[in-house]
Amino acid sequence: MNEQEKARLEELESKDAAWREKRSAYYGALIDDTNSSGSKKRRRLVYEGLTPEEMDEYHRLSLKRYWEWVLTDSAEEDARLAAFQKADEAWKREQEEKWAAQTAAEMSDGYRDDLPGKRLKVVCSQPEETPPEEVDWDAEVEKDMEEYDELCCHGMSLEDWHEYQKLVDKRQARLWLEFLPGNEDYDFDYLLDLLQFKINRMIDYWQWDSHSGDGDYYRKQMELAVHLIGIIRNHGCDPDESCTRRLRHRVNLRNQARFTAQPTVWCPSKRHEVRWKKAWHLIFKLLEEKLQEWWD
Q: What percent of the chain has pLDDT over 90?
A: 27
In a domain, 201, yes or no: yes
Instruction: Report residue 290's pLDDT band, with 50, 70 and 90 as the boundaries.
Output: very high
Any domain includes 174: no
pTM: 0.66
d(CA 233, CA 237): 9
Query: Is it the case that residue 281 has pLDDT exceeding 60?
Result: yes
- DSSP-derived letter for residue 250 is -
Across the chain, mean pLDDT equals 81
| Torsion angle of the four alpha carbons 212, 218, 219, 223, in this order, in degrees rounded to the nearest 10 | -170
Residues 45 and 82 in one domain: no
**pLDDT at 123 (0 to 100):** 46
| Of 54-58, 59-63, 72-76, 122-126, the least confident | 122-126
Summarize the confidence of residues 38-63 as an average pLDDT. Answer: 78
Residue 7: inside a domain, yes or no? yes
Does residue 95 share a domain with residue 17? no
Which of the residue ranges 61-70, 119-128, 179-188 would you say has the lowest mean pLDDT?
A: 119-128
**270 confidence band (pLDDT: 50, 70, 90):** confident
- The number of distinct structural domains making up the chain is 3
| 226 and 251 assigned to the same domain | yes
* Domain membership flag for residue 135: no
Average of per-residue pLDDT across 169-180: 89
Where b means 16+ CB within 10 Å and e means fewer, 153-170 reads bbebeeebbebbeebbeb
Q: Find how far residue 49's CA is from the centre of its chain.
A: 32
Asked whether residue 255 is assigned to any structural domain, the reply reads: yes
User: Over the stretch 20-32, which tens digit does the pLDDT of each residue have?
Assistant: 888 888 777 766 6
Cα 78 from chain centroid (whole Å): 21
- Check residue 62 and give its pLDDT: 92
Domain residues for the domain of 160 are 74-109+142-169
